[in-house]
Structure formats: structure tokens, C-alpha cells
Amino acid sequence: MVTTGLIQQSNSGNNAENVQRLENNIRDVAAKGAQLIVLQELHNSLYFCQTEETDVFDLAETIPGPSTRRFGQLAKELGVVIVTSLFEKRTPGLYHNTAVVLEKDGTIAGKYRKMHIPDDPAYYEKFYFTPGDMGFEPIDTSVGRLGVLVCWDQWYPEAARLMAMRGADLLIYPTAIGWESTDTPEEQKRQKDAWTISQRGHAVANGLPVVSVNRVGYEPDPSKVTGGIQFWGNSFVAGPQGEKLVEAPTNLESNLIVEIDLKRSESVRRIWPFFRDRRIDAYAGLTKRFLDE
């Protein structure tokens, strides 16, 4: 069993305050027994991709850097593994959306650069982030092999499958997703259901637990072109048959604790042997953009 803490937080424009609240929440779930703690996407700041502003690049930091030092020291003090999500400055003009895993001794266990980068109204991530170049490699830690992916990656079964094929014990998705103000209630439900279903589907198809941590609360569009984003929370953990083990509310900050049985994947894969029945001789087309007749 891995006792896992999920921190679903709303953020303000005060980054120092956001980070201090994160630290307080990390201490809270660690005190409740968490061994693995997962934070939401780009957790230090507001979700800045609603606009395209060159000054925003000043928020980026190196890895190692200030955030890995602070959260690394906290991981060491508390004896926990922390999954962070940072705006990485690799070199001038080259930036990534990067998840960094900190081991319980405070060292960097590994990192993952977000591979799939969206470019939609209110989600102008291609302006800021270069697509990842590290592939889909699980990160070895004291609590297991973590298949860390980030937000938009959650819509791609290929990413989840490759993490599973490389021996991930669970899939982890730091996330920032919500509704734009013009979405109707019916559209809002369709979007949130699709988001949940897709990740539960990854759990089922790969026989692995899935941890998804989303932010919550309203963040205005600085340009006022849109009505801003209402992040829908609903952070959750699904077991290897897609069953929900825990779920946060849509509109409240939440610290969740859940026990994840990593050994159960073996039992599930024995009764649902999807890996055995894969037709790897027939999948060459997956490496094409599209199959024209």
C-alpha cells in the first residue's frame, strides 16, 4: 500500500502565498500518513496561459532551482515523495512544462517534460512551452515507479500505454483544466465527464491506478477577451479497474488521503490480460499522423 496525498488548491496572483499554502497542505497530508504527495499543474502561480505575454517567461526557473530546493528540503524533513509541476527555464528562449519528482531524501528522483502541448482559447500553452524531449519514462522512487504525465497528456492513450509498457506502477496527472465562462451547463457536464472517463479508461486499459490532481477556483482572463476559467477540481484516484477510490468536490479546496494497493494490478491483469492479447503485429499505423485510404 502507498498512502497518497492529493492537494487540490486555488491560487492567487501572490506566488509566495501560493507556495506557503502548498507547504502547509503538504505538512497536513504528511501528518496524516501520506508517503506520496501529488500537486496540481503549475502550482506556484495562477494559470498564466490564458494570454500570450513575454513578461510571463520571468516566472520560469531552472531545475535544479528555487522550487526544487524548497520542496526538496520539505520532502527530506517529512520523509515523503513529492510530485511537483514547474515552469522550467532550460536556457534563454527554451522553456518546458515540467514535472519534477523529489525523493524522500530531498534529491531529484527524476523529471518529465510535458509532451502534448495544447493551443486553444484560454490555453495558449504553445506560446510558452516547447514539447518534451524525454519520452515516456517512469521515475523510480522509494514508493514505486511513477508514470508521471501532465494535463493535456491525459487525452492520449499512447502516453499512458507507453508508461505502462515501461513498468510504471501507477499513472499520475498533475492538471489544470476548467470551464470557460460561455460553456453551458450541459457542455460543462460533457467536458468534465469526458475528462474523468478518459483517465479511468487509462486505468482499465493498463490495469494501473491513476492519480489526477486538478486545481480549483476561478481565475480571470487578464486580457478580458474571455470570461476566465472556472477550474473544476474533482481531483480523484481510480483503481486498476477504473473504480474511483477517492474524489474531491468541484468547488472546494481539498486535501485528500487514499491508500493505493500497487500489488492489485497483478491480480487485475491476470483476469483482464489486455497486454497478452495486444496485436502488436497490426499497430504500425499508430506511428502515422493519419491513415489516408
The residues annotated with a catalytic role in the active site are 41, 114, 151
Would you say how long the chain is, in residues?
293
Cis peptide bond upstream of 64, omega within 30: yes
Query: Long-range contacts of range 66-75, CB-CB < 8 Å, 24 or more positions apart?
Result: 67/19, 67/100, 68/100, 68/102, 68/108, 70/19, 70/23, 71/26, 71/102, 72/102, 72/106, 72/107, 72/108, 73/106, 74/23, 74/26, 74/27, 75/102, 75/103, 75/104, 75/105, 75/106
179 phi, psi to nearest 5 deg: -100, 145
Distances (CA, A) of 291 to 155, 159, 161, 234: 20, 20, 21, 36
Strands (E), the chain: 2-8, 36-38, 81-91, 94-102, 108-113, 119-120, 123-124, 139-141, 144-148, 170-175, 178-180, 210-214, 216-219, 229-232, 236-238, 244-247, 254-260
